[in-house]
Amino acid sequence: MAETAPAKEPIKASEIDPKFKYELTKMHGGEKLLKCFQCGTCTSDCPVARFSDTYRPRQIIRMAQLGLKDRVLKSDTLWLCAACFTCTDRCPQDVEVASVIRVLRNLAAEKGCVPQVFKEQACCILDSGYAYKIPELRVKKRETQGLPPLPKGNPESVRKTLKGIKFLENAEKKGEPSGQ
């Protein structure tokens, strides 16, 4: 997945949605968003930021505070978070950083702004119950090595669980651009 650094583009007044931060504070996990004073502890302690030139949780929180809705929801970097919750544990302001990122991802998924790699993975789960298509060669290799067959996936159960979720509809729009 390509990483982009959308926050480095100059900000235009027209892209600011002043209500966005208030919408986020009404969502579970986003309540303390406005308490962030940009100390950067979340970024310093984030294990993903350590290995990425562009992933900065502090920056994501700031974009959300500023109301840069489209920019943050279309950002590829949003999807790099490993949901380890280190940032949430270390934030001196009790901002639930990982949860804010989850809220933003949910909103992005509703708009269809999901990286193609995750769409494909979701489609695979919906088709087979597995996150990845198991190559036939590997199935045969298991047989030759005397291993039992892989358990059958249950995509019907997954579909039932995810019924009505917009991400499901968006994920199934195979081959269409991810909205980014």
Question: Could you list the residues that contact ligand SF4 (CB under 6 A)?
Answer: 36-42, 46-48, 57-58, 61, 81-87, 91-93, 95, 97-98, 101
CB of residue 71 to ligand SF4, shortest distance in Å: 18
Tell which residue, 126, 121, 118, has the closest CA to residue 76.
118
In terms of CB distance, is 88 or 170 closer to ligand SF4? Answer: 88
CB of residue 77 to ligand SF4, shortest distance in Å: 10
**In Å, what is the CA distance from 50 to each residue of 57, 75, 85, 94, 165?**
11, 18, 15, 22, 33
CB of residue 65 to ligand SF4, shortest distance in Å: 9
Helices 97-110, 57-66: inter-axial angle, 10-degree rounding: 60
CB of residue 160 to ligand SF4, shortest distance in Å: 29
CA distance 162 to 20: 26
In terms of CB distance, is 97 or 122 closer to ligand SF4? Answer: 97
Judge contact between 76 and 88, C-beta under 8 A: no
Three-state secondary structure call for residue 102:
helix
In terms of CB distance, is 71 or 102 closer to ligand SF4? Answer: 102
In terms of CB distance, is 81 or 125 closer to ligand SF4? Answer: 81
In terms of CB distance, is 60 or 113 closer to ligand SF4? Answer: 60
CB of residue 164 to ligand SF4, shortest distance in Å: 27
The secondary structure of the chain in percent helix, strand, coil, rounded to multiples of 5, reads: 55, 0, 45
